[in-house]
Each structure stands twice: as structure tokens, then as C-alpha cells.
């Protein structure tokens, strides 16, 4: 980019001063950091706007095909820092602010993280948007403008407390309200059939409706002038004062509309890999999908007159089953508004929709009771019934007399609408998110569908954006990498493999490890400020940060810490490298066992961190409110990355890739994308342990295993388990962790014992942890392996993933934007 930086800096400062004046009646001397953030953000937005307009002009000029990435969640994290980086103006802006007496990092820290997502699924959507813009592909993210995003987590007395996230409280400077695209969305009522002499028309009557009003947030491509949009929908009452209803004295109905609008976008359901089955959730789904699909069709018809070719200009990627009503909504519009015949509408729909599956966890599979679905979406339900009727005919044709196939594959069965089945039937592409995951879908979970329609199935291994997770999150390492190999890695991560030649160079090893050390000091400072705990940056930072879920096995990690502590107590002179076990995790508000696990981690931390007798050899830290912005700092500081899910359960994982990029070594099972990471870096450069996914699936098919045998035969494991119920970590209430104990041994309930094979994998895990201790002592080996991990992370850029989606599914053309 050729920018005259002197002029640029002066102009930028002027803009900030002007924004402060008109927004806050403040001057630079009396502005607070929060006000400065708003003023700086507006000045940056000003730099984005012309590019944003130019991008959309270019799309129109080229009549470009667009991908609509439909997702209930976009976990974007803060925008200011990323936008500045994408504009390639970081140094100028940093200097300009410094000249005004402000520090860019402090200003960036004022931004509230837009946390419109739970975990991996929402963060993946955000990485994809970043890559789409950087690669120059026309795209819209379509989502919901939740008034309250993911809750803020406070830890009080070791327990998680959920605090509302008021991210919009002070206004969000980057968004733009677009009332000109407001769209009505209808719920409830009934469907009337009207005959016009030629055909029946289906008309929804007696419904309630809300007005969907979009807000656009710019997604700035790196250094290429491309700016795409994340379009999130807000809900408003259609008429605030429904005078007609008031005249009839129906006060209730008038306020109903208002309440409906308010509640729809009120809050993000804080469930990750778990389906809540709440009516409001289905409303949210239809709300943003109906608005997005209506708008996509309208936009197409503004410049085209043949609706039959809609799919040549638009593709809908459904992020998990949550947006699946898109299949039926597009059918509704084509049938009822465009007056197409069923077969024509179906052809267009199934050439437009594509579906990504993100999990095999059965509790995450969405199924809606017919009663609820048909009451809320009566016309959509009729359409789904007809899709189902025709699909069942196809099953019968393919498998005559095989009722079992119908039972297993029908979309509507046993009083429920199965959204995954609708998604598969209505899409031309079905993909998993890592090779192993896709294989499990094909051979286990979705076997029947794969056998009937193999051509639809494909794999797209997830990726992450190196621009947020290295360039922004780890500036020291980023500039070291650029010094060594140039800056092409920023937009093409495959270049990072050039670092491999430095892996054996002792000077480079020292530099690399010194950067890690600086990042550990930065995190240690954060931990001191936020947790009041002193941690030694020379200790191994062993980190597990991700949502709390039983299958991710944070419990196995903390049980191992308890086991290690027992060894240290027995043998205070035990020779181990000091280790800091760092956790960060939010648990769904209603997930009792996950919340109890957080309490256990904090209880163990309390005992161990305060035991002088072990000389600080191990410490345990639970970082409060794990979110995108502190994640960036955590990845940069990690030595060890814990990716220890029960094999087969983690579809891909993406945190694993962020750690690898930042030079952490992985301790992990052969699960999700870990398998492909091992392929890239070599299994000898990771710490792999545990049962394979085949073994796990086999045991599951046999009804599990008997953990009591392990309990009876392994006294060290038994000791750890007994400490859960003898008050070692909860002297006031020895029974506190009884539920966790029971879940592992199943002494009380009819559930399968140790569903996630924690005790089964424990020995192999402890042995791998021990290998880490030994390996870390060999400084050269460790440094070399850390560099090799970074150097081998090229495959895991979301740029690569997006190129594969484009090549195999979306078929988009790149555009160039000149200013």
C-alpha cells in the first residue's frame, strides 16, 4: 500500500479530534480512554467506508455470485485492532495516537468483545468471514444481532456466575443500521387455501409478525480494499402502536407484537454442542433465516428476471442444522411468491443450499416436536411434510420393503422434525469439518444417507485466520517470522513452512524461546491482575482453554493434577519441571456437571497454590471469562496445548490449530483435526496418547466398559477418586464432588459409567504428561519442536479451507477492488 504517512497521520488525528468533539463535546486533553476508543473506531470506520462502497459496486458490476454464510453465531472478537491491521495502518495509527498521548493497545482494550457465539462453531464462522474478504470472495455473513451475547463469566468462591454481556450499551461504532432492507417475518396463525381458477394458493393468516431490521458490520480484507458485510438482524414490532387493535380494545395484542420483537433477539442461548429445544430458539432460527432468504431473493430479482437461475448467483452455506429452515423458506418463497411448480422450486433450492455438520454429539442434534414446529411455522411445516413425503417415496424406491430405512432416514418421524435429515435432503453438499469427522459421518452417524447419496458428502478440514491469531495476537513472533521468511505468510500461510530450516539453528531457537518467554510474562501479568496469583514464567505453561464439556475432558486434566500433587506430597524432592496448569472455560448455565467441574478446578487450585510444602512446583490457574481477546494472549504464551477429547467426539477443534501456529506442543488424542496436525508435523513432535476412535466406537457399541476394574486395580487412580468424596478439596462439604465421582464409577444411576473413557485413558495420559516433563528439560529439542510446530501449521489457515469450499461447493469468482 502506498500511503503518504505524514499526511495520513495528520488527517487521522484531525478525524479523532473531530469525532471526540461531536460525539462527546470533549477535547483530546479531557477525553477518557473509552471515549478515545469510540473516536478512533469512527475514524477507522471512515477509512473503511469508501472501500466498502467500492466493493459492493464491484460485485454489482461483475454480477458476482455470492455466498451467504448462514450462522446463528459469529464469535468475532474485537474489531478495532483487526481492522487497523487489515488496513495495513497499524504503525501509523500507533504513532499518531502516541503523539496524542495514547497507547493503541489500551484503546483496543476498551472495546467490548462482540461475543455473538459460544465457541468453536461461531469462531469458525468469524475466521471464514476474515478469509473470504482477504481472498476477495463476495460473501455475506447472516446472523442475529443478539442484545446480550455470550455471558460474562465471574468466578465467585470457585463457582461460575453468569453476568449479562451488555455489548451494545455504549453503542457499537462499526455497525450501520440499514432500515431500507427491513423485512417482515411471520409466525403462527394458519394456512388458508385460495383457488384462483388455475391453482391453489397457500396464504398464512392470523399470524403475528415482526420486522427484521439489518445492521451491517464491515469485514475488512487484508490489504486488498475488499470489505464484505456481516449482516445481523434486529427485531422490531411491525407497528409500535397498533391503533386498529387498540380501537377494538385489544390492548393485549398490541403489546404482544412489541414483546415478541423484544424477546426474539434478546439473548444468545449459551449452549455449545447441546440443543436446548426451546420454542424461542426455533423462533430465532426462522427469524434470521426468513429475513436473510427473503432479502437474498429480492436482491437477485433487482438485477435478474429469471428466478430459475437463482443458484447461479447465490449459495447458502448452513452452519450446522440451526439455519436448516432455509431449505423450506426458500421453497416457500419460490412456490408462494414466485408461483413456481414444486419440481422447479425444488431444483433451485437443492442447487442453492449446502450443509456443514459440526458434531456427532447426539445431544446436539436438533429435533423439533411436530406440535411446536407446525404451530409456530404452519406454512413451513406443510412444505417440510411434502419434502418428507417425496423423500420417503425415494427411500421406498431405493430400498423396497425396507421399513427400517424409513424409520432411520425420514425427516418427520415419531412426532419430530429431524433438522439434520432436512438439511441433508435439501442440500447439494454435506460436509464434515476434519477428515476423521467426515469419515465417521460417512461410516457411522450418517451412514444411510451416505449410502443413498454418496456424491453429496465431502470433507472440509477447518482452519483459523493467522491474521488474528498470529499477526494481531502475537506481534513479537509475527515480526520474527517476517524477518526470517518475509511477509507472504500473512495472506498465504503455506509459506510458513520455510521456517523449518531454522529449527536446528541454535540462535533461532534462543530467539524463538525468548519470544515465548516474553509472551509468558505478558500472560503472567494478566493472571496476576485478574486472579491475584503469581505464576513463574519459567514454568511450563500447560493450557486447556475451550468450552467446558464432558467430552473435552477437562476433568481428566484436573484429575491428573491431583494425581501429580499426590506424588509430590509423598515425595517432596520429586524432580519435576515446575508446571503451571492453566484452564479457561465457560460452562452452559444449565450444565450442572460442567459447572461443578469448574468448582473442582478452582478447589484444587486453592489447595495446591497455597501449599508451601511443594515449593510452587505446580500451580493451577483458572482464567475467568475466557473469550476471544484473552485467547489471543493465551495462545501466544502456551508451551503445551491440551487437546484431550475422547477420540471420535471432537469434530475438529480449532484451538488446537491456534496453539500450534504459536509454537505450543500438543498433548492430544487422535481426534478431530489433531490427526491431520500429527500428519503435518510428525507424530514424534506431539504427545499422542489414548484410545483410538475405532476403539472408542467399538466399546460404545458394546455398551461401554467397566471402570470399576480400574478403580479396584489401580490404587493411585483410586486415591484420586476417593479424594473427590473425602473432603480433600472440599473440607466444608465432603459430598460436594460426589456427582463427579458417581459419573466416573456409576454407583448410583442407570447412565453408562465413565461415558467419556476418562479412567480408561488416564494411565496413557499420565504417561504422556510425564514425557512432556522429560522433553522440556532438553531445551534444544523443545525449541526445535516448537519451531517445527509453527512451521507445520500452514495447512490450518482458514484461507486454505475457504479455497476448498470455493473450489468444491461455492464456485465463486475473486474480485479486485481498486480505489
User: Does the footprint of ligand 9GP cover residue 272 (CB under 6 A)?
Assistant: yes
**Catalytic, out of 546, 553, 649, 784:** 546
Helix H, strand E, coil C: the string for 228-287 is: EEEEEEEEEECCCCCHHHHHCCCHHHHHHHHHHHHHHCCECCCCCCCCCCCHHHHHHHHH
User: Does the footprint of ligand 9GP cover residue 652 (CB under 6 A)?
Assistant: yes
**Catalytic, out of 45, 147, 152, 358:** 358
CB of 655 to ligand 9GP, least distance (A): 8
Q: Write b or e for each residue in 470-495: b if 16 or more Cβ atoms lie within 10 A of its Cβ, otherwise e.
A: bbbbbbebbebbeebbeeebbbebeb
Cβ proximity to ligand 9GP: between 110 and 654 the closer is 654
Phi, psi of 805 (to 5 degrees): -60, -45
DSSP 629-690: HHHHHHHHH-SEEEE-PPTTT-S--SHHHHHHHTTPEEEE-S-TTHHHHHHHH-GGGSEE-S
CB of 653 to ligand 9GP, least distance (A): 5
Phi, psi of 92 (to 5 degrees): -60, -45
- Interstrand relation of 190-195 and 416-418 (parallel, antiparallel or unpaired): unpaired
> Could you tell me which stretch among 217-225, 449-457, 559-567, 649-657 binds ligand 9GP (CB under 6 A)?
649-657
Grid cell 531457537 in the structure block, residue = 509
Nearest-angstrom CA–CA distance, 550 and 708: 19
Cβ proximity to ligand 9GP: between 118 and 519 the closer is 118
Total binding residues for ligand 9GP by CB under 6 A? Answer: 18
User: Does the footprint of ligand 9GP cover residue 690 (CB under 6 A)?
Assistant: no
Nearest-angstrom CA–CA distance, 66 and 64: 6
Q: Is 199 a catalytic residue?
A: no
Do residues 740 and 600 touch, judged by C-beta distance below 8 A?
yes
By three-state DSSP, how is residue 533 classified?
Answer: coil
Phi, psi of 230 (to 5 degrees): -95, 115
**Contacts with ligand 9GP in 360-389 (CB under 6 A)?**
364
CB of 432 to ligand 9GP, least distance (A): 9
By three-state DSSP, how is residue 213 classified?
Answer: strand
Residue 82 cell numbers, joined: 483487526
> Could you tell me which stretch among 333-341, 506-514, 651-659, 739-747 binds ligand 9GP (CB under 6 A)?
651-659
Q: Is 552 a catalytic residue?
A: yes
Do residues 416 and 370 touch, judged by C-beta distance below 8 A?
yes
Closest C-alpha to 124, from 593, 701, 600, 655: 655
CB of 438 to ligand 9GP, least distance (A): 12
Q: Write b or e for each residue in 656-671: b if 16 or more Cβ atoms lie within 10 A of its Cβ, otherwise e.
A: bbbbbbbbbbbbbbbb
**Contacts with ligand 9GP in 344-363 (CB under 6 A)?**
358-359
User: Does the footprint of ligand 9GP cover residue 273 (CB under 6 A)?
Assistant: yes
User: Does the footprint of ligand 9GP cover residue 120 (CB under 6 A)?
Assistant: yes
> Could you tell me which stretch among 23-31, 118-126, 448-456, 591-599 binds ligand 9GP (CB under 6 A)?
118-126
- From the list 429, 461, 648, 654, which residue makes contact with ligand 9GP (rule: CB under 6 A)? 654
User: Does the footprint of ligand 9GP cover residue 129 (CB under 6 A)?
Assistant: no
- From the list 496, 651, 812, 817, which residue makes contact with ligand 9GP (rule: CB under 6 A)? 651
Handedness of CA 383, 384, 387, 393 (dihedral sign): negative
Residue 699 has a CB neighbour count (10 Å cut-off) of 14
CB of 640 to ligand 9GP, least distance (A): 20
Cβ proximity to ligand 9GP: between 130 and 272 the closer is 272
Cβ proximity to ligand 9GP: between 115 and 124 the closer is 124
Q: Is 367 a catalytic residue?
A: no
Nearest-angstrom CA–CA distance, 729 and 736: 9
Q: Is 780 a catalytic residue?
A: no
Nearest-angstrom CA–CA distance, 767 and 774: 11
Cβ proximity to ligand 9GP: between 71 and 743 the closer is 71
Cβ proximity to ligand 9GP: between 271 and 723 the closer is 271
**Contacts with ligand 9GP in 519-578 (CB under 6 A)?**
none
CB of 35 to ligand 9GP, least distance (A): 37
**Catalytic, out of 183, 359, 491, 654:** 654
User: Does the footprint of ligand 9GP cover residue 121 (CB under 6 A)?
Assistant: yes
Q: Is 658 a catalytic residue?
A: yes
What distances in angstroms separate CA 644 from CA 157, 388, 666, 805, one per listed residue?
27, 39, 9, 28
**Catalytic, out of 45, 123, 145, 547:** 547
DSSP 707-743: HHHHHHH-HHHHHHHHHTTSSSS-TT-TTTTHHHHHH
User: Does the footprint of ligand 9GP cover residue 119 (CB under 6 A)?
Assistant: yes
> Could you tell me which stretch among 108-116, 175-183, 646-654, 692-700 binds ligand 9GP (CB under 6 A)?
646-654
Element at 554 (helix H, strand E): helix 554-570
User: Does the footprint of ligand 9GP cover residue 445 (CB under 6 A)?
Assistant: no
Cβ proximity to ligand 9GP: between 655 and 663 the closer is 655
> Could you tell me which stretch among 275-283, 415-423, 575-583, 650-658 binds ligand 9GP (CB under 6 A)?
650-658
Cβ proximity to ligand 9GP: between 653 and 690 the closer is 653
User: Does the footprint of ligand 9GP cover residue 609 (CB under 6 A)?
Assistant: no
Cβ proximity to ligand 9GP: between 654 and 693 the closer is 654
Binding mask 456-485 for ligand 9GP (x = CB under 6 A): ------x-----------------------
Grid cell 432411520 in the structure block, residue = 408
The answer for 797, left when phi > 0, alpha when psi is -120 to 50, beta otherwise, is: beta
CB of 796 to ligand 9GP, least distance (A): 11
CB of 323 to ligand 9GP, least distance (A): 12
Element at 356 (helix H, strand E): strand 353-356
Do residues 674 and 693 touch, judged by C-beta distance below 8 A?
no
Binding mask 224-263 for ligand 9GP (x = CB under 6 A): ----------------------------------------
Closest C-alpha to 618, from 508, 557, 540: 540
CB of 674 to ligand 9GP, least distance (A): 10
Nearest-angstrom CA–CA distance, 545 and 594: 14
Beta bridge pairs of residue 203: 192
CB of 196 to ligand 9GP, least distance (A): 44
Q: Is 814 a catalytic residue?
A: no
CB of 815 to ligand 9GP, least distance (A): 27
**Contacts with ligand 9GP in 769-798 (CB under 6 A)?**
none
Beta bridge pairs of residue 622: 583
- From the list 650, 676, 769, 799, which residue makes contact with ligand 9GP (rule: CB under 6 A)? 650
Nearest-angstrom CA–CA distance, 676 and 459: 13
**Catalytic, out of 552, 579, 784, 795:** 552
Cβ proximity to ligand 9GP: between 516 and 795 the closer is 795
Site residues for ligand 9GP per CB under 6 A = 119-121, 124, 272-273, 320, 358-359, 364, 433, 462, 650-654, 672
Catalytic residues: 358, 546-547, 552, 654, 658
Amino acid at each position: 500500500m502506498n500511503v503518504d504517512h505524514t499526511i495520513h497521520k495528520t488527517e487521522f488525528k484531525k478525524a479523532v479530534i473531530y469525532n471526540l468533539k461531536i460525539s462527546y463535546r470533549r477535547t483530546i486533553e479531557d477525553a477518557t480512554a473509552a471515549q478515545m476508543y469510540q473516536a478512533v473506531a469512527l475514524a477507522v470506520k471512515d477509512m473503511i467506508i469508501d472501500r466498502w462502497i467500492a466493493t459492493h459496486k464491484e460485485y454489482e458490476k461483475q454480477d458476482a455470485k455470492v455466498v451467504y454464510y448462514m450462522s446463528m453465531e459469529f464469535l468475532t472478537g474485537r474489531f478495532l485492532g483487526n481492522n487497523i491491521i487489515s488496513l495495513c495502518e497499524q504503525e501509523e495509527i500507533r504513532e499518531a495516537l502516541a503523539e496524542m498521548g495514547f497507547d493503541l493497545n489500551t484503546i483496543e482494550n476498551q472495546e467490548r468483545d462482540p461475543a455473538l457465539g459460544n465457541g468453536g462453531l461461531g469462531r469458525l464462522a468469524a475466521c471464514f468471514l476474515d478469509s473470504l474478504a482477504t481472498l476477495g470472495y463476495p460473501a455475506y455473513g447472516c446472523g442475529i444481532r443478539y442484545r446480550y451475547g455470550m455471558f460474562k463469566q465471574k468466578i465467585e468462591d470457585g463457582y461460575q456466575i453468569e453476568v449479562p454481556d451488555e455489548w451494545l450499551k455504549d453503542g457499537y461504532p462499526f455497525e450501520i443500521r440499514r432500515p431500507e432492507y427491513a423485512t417482515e417475518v411471520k409466525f403462527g396463525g394458519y394456512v388458508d387455501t385460495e383457488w384462483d381458477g388455475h391453482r391453489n394458493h397457500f396464504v398464512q393468516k392470523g399470524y403475528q409478525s415482526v420486522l427484521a431490521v439489518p445492521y451491517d458490520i464491515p469485514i475488512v480484507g487484508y490489504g486488498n480494499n475488499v470489505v464484505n458485510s456481516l449482516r445481523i438482524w434486529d427485531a422490531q414490532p411491525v407497528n409500535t402502536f397498533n391503533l386498529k387493535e387498540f380501537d377494538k380494545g385489544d390492548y393485549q395484542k398490541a403489546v404482544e407484537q412489541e414483546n415478541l420483537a423484544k424477546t426474539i433477539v434478546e439473548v444468545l442461548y449459551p449452549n455449545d454442542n447441546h440443543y436446548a429445544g426451546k420454542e424461542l430458539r426455533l423462533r430465532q432460527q426462522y427469524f434470521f433465516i426468513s429475513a436473510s432468504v427473503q432479502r437474498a431473493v429480492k436482491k437477485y430479482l433487482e438485477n435478474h428476471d429469471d428466478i430459475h437461475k437463482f443458484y447461479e448467483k447465490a449459495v447458502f452455506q448452513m452452519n450446522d442444522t440451526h439455519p436448516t429452515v432455509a431449505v423450506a423458506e426458500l421453497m416457500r418463497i419460490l412456490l408462494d411468491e414466485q408461483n413456481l411448480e414444486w419440481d422447479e422450486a425444488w431444483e433451485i433450492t437443492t442447487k442453492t443450499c449446502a450443509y456443514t455438520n459440526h458434531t456427532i454429539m447426539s445431544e446436539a442434534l436438533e429435533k423439533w416436536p411436530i406440535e411446536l414446529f407446525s404451530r409456530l411455522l404452519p406454512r413451513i411445516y406443510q412444505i417440510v411434510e411434502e419434502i418428507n413425503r417425496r423423500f420417503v417415496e425415494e427411500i421406498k424406491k431405493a430400498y423396497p420393503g425396507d421399513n427400517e430405512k424409513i424409520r432411520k432416514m425420514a425427516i418427520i418421524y415419531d412426532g419430530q422434525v429431524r433438522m439434520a435429515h432436512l438439511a441433508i435432503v435439501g442440500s447439494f453438499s454435506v460436509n464434515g469439518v476434519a477428515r476423521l469427522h467426515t469419515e465417521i459421518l460417512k461410516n457411522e452417524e450418517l451412514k444411510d444417507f451416505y449410502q443413498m447419496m454418496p456424491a453429496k458428502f465431502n470433507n472440509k478440514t477447518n482452519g483459523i485466520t493467522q491474521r488474528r491469531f498470529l499477526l494481531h495476537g502475537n506481534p513479537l513472533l509475527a515480526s520474527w517470522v517476517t524477518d526470517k521468511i518475509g511477509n507472504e505468510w500473512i495472506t498465504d500461510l503455506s509459506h510458513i513452512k520455510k521456517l523449518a530450516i531454522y529449527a536446528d539453528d541454535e540462535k533461532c531457537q534462543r530467539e524463538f524461546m525468548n519470544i515465548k518467554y516474553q509472551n509468558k510474562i505478558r500472560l503472567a501479568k494478566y493472571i496476576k491482575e485478574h486472579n491475584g496469583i503469581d505464576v513463574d514464567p519459567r514454568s511450563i505453561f500447560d493450557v486447556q482453554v475451550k468450552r467446558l464439556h464432558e467430552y473435552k475432558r477437562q476433568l481428566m486434566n484436573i484429575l491428573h493434577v491431583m494425581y501429580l500433587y499426590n506424588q509430590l506430597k509423598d515425595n517432596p524432592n520429586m524432580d519435576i519441571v515446575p508446571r503451571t496448569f492453566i484452564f479457561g472455560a465457560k460452562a452452559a448455565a444449565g450444565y450442572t456437571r460442567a459447572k461443578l467441574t469448574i468448582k473442582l478446578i478452582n478447589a484444587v487450585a486453592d489447595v495446591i497454590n497455597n501449599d508451601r510444602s511443594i515449593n510452587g512446583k505446580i500451580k493451577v490457574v483458572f482464567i475467568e471469562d475466557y473469550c476471544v481477546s484473552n485467547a489471543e494472549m493465551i495462545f501466544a504464551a502456551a508451551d503445551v496445548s491440551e487437546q484431550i477429547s475422547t477420540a471420535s467426539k471432537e469434530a475438529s477443534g480449532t484451538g488446537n490449530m491456534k496453539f500450534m501456529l504459536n509454537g505450543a506442543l500438543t498433548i492430544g488424542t487422535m481426534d478431530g483435526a489433531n490427526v491431520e496436525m500429527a500428519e503435518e508435523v510428525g507424530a514424534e513432535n506431539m504427545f499422542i496418547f489414548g484410545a483410538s476412535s475405532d476403539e472408542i466406537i467399538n466399546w460404545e457399541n458394546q455398551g461401554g466398559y467397566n471402570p470399576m476394574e480400574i478403580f479396584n486395580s489401580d490404587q493411585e487412580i483410586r486415591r484420586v477418586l476417593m479424594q473427590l468424596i473425602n473432603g480433600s478439596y472440599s473440607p466444608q462439604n465432603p459430598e460436594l464432588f460426589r456427582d463427579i465421582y458417581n459419573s466416573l464409577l456409576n454407583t448410583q444411576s442407570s447412565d453408562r459409567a465413565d461415558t467419556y473413557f476418562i479412567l480408561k485413558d488416564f494411565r496413557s495420559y499420565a504417561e504422556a504428561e510425564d514425557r512432556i516433563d522429560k522433553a522440556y528439560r532438553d531445551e534444544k529439542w523443545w525449541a526445535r519442536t516448537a519451531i517445527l510446530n509453527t512451521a507445520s501449521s500452514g495447512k490450518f489457515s482458514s484461507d486454505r479451507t475457504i479455497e476448498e469450499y470455493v473450489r468444491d461447493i461455492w464456485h465463486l469468482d475473486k474480485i479486485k477492488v481498486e480505489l
